[in-house]
Chain A
Amino acid sequence: MAIDKKLIGQTGTPFTVPIEWSKVREFARAIRDPNPVYFDRELAQKECGGVPVPPTFLQAASFWMDEHSMPAANFDLRRILHGEQDFEFLKPIFVGDVLTGVARVADVYEKEGGRGGKMTFMLTEIEYKNQKGETVAFARGTLVETGQAVSS
């Protein structure tokens, strides 16, 4: 990807993410998490005030994003790495909530890498608000496009 500083600060179209119990259960199983709070509604209500979501569950918001949700960057899928991910939680997220996410490009820059040659970094931040308009979380990700195919 040619580096494009004009991307910085651009936002995507807001997208809506209903927090669905079946998806939460599927996600918990996928990360091998048997915690009963994801599977037993009464227990979850007592312990957490509702069925909570695993800390990384907002990754599944991708199902509700389309080509306009994230400002476009033409990364080569064969050479892409997820460098970092950072979640900050300000309010609880429960099954039944309806979140709205807005993605923003926080930074784009290039760096000389080692084995991978020149690397392009893109930092994105998605702010999620719930149905009451409260900001519940920020999901910040760093994507890296390496100069050649990624391997260990």
Chain B
Amino acid sequence: MAAKIKYDAVKVGDPIVTITIENVSRPDFVRYAGASGDFVPLHYDQTFVEAAGIPTVFAQGMWTAGCLSRCLTDYAGASQVRRFKVRFARQVWPGDTLTCRGKVTGKSEKHGEKLVEGELEVVNQKGEAAIKGSFAVAAG
């Protein structure tokens, strides 16, 4: 397994990788529906959402979480993620630009592995949080 980060070099407060998602669009939700099997119509069926009193379709929370997960795999390595937890705070709408980011809040050892822990968030172009999360990744 290729760990991209060295445990001893990581400090509490360090930022991890930031990912920007420009121009969220309806095709993102359609593609994610097909990829994940999440066919809840709130995310692609305009007629359905209007009947439910919602102005337009919005992102699957797990699509946004998937975008956020790249911060961890780019930072620590694709097979290094041990914990990824997200809480959905606000919808993501077509046209939004998202910033996915996080920082280190702690280090520990568990089951003989050196873990780096931290917090995560996705914010939109107005600075409003769409997701708050936390993580643990294995370091070398």
Asked if A82 is at the interface of the complex by the 8 Å CB criterion, the answer is yes
Distance (whole angstroms) from the CB of B109 to the closest CB of chain A:
15
| Binary contact track A18-57/B, C-beta < 8 Å → 1, others 0 | 0000010011011111010110000010111100101110
User: Which of the residues B21, B61, B78, B82 comes within 8 Å of A37, measured between beta carbons?
Assistant: B78
Distance (whole angstroms) from the CB of A60 to the closest CB of chain B:
5
CA distance A63 to B34 in the complex (A): 10
Q: What's the interface size class on B, roughly?
A: 35 or more
Contact residues of A: prevailing secondary structure = mixed
Pick the interface stretch among A73-81, A96-104, A110-118, A126-134: A73-81
Q: Is the CB of A30 within 8 A of B54?
A: no
Q: What's the interface size class on A, roughly?
A: 35 or more
Q: Is the CB of B62 within 8 A of A49?
A: no
Q: Is the CB of B35 within 8 A of A29?
A: yes
Q: Is the CB of A62 within 8 A of B53?
A: no
Q: Is the CB of B88 within 8 A of A81?
A: yes
Asked if B108 is at the interface of the complex by the 8 Å CB criterion, the answer is no
Q: Is the CB of B41 within 8 A of A62?
A: no
User: Which of the residues B40, B52, B72, B91 comes within 8 Å of A55, measured between beta carbons?
Assistant: B72
| A-B contact sample (15 more), CB < 8 A, given A31-B70, A79-B52 | A26-B34, A26-B35, A30-B34, A35-B74, A37-B78, A48-B2, A49-B79, A55-B69, A59-B36, A60-B36, A82-B88, A87-B84, A89-B81, A92-B1, A151-B55
B residues apposed to A, CB below 8 Å:
1-2, 21, 28, 31-32, 34-38, 40-42, 48, 51-55, 58, 60-63, 65-67, 69-70, 72-74, 77-79, 81-88, 90-91, 93
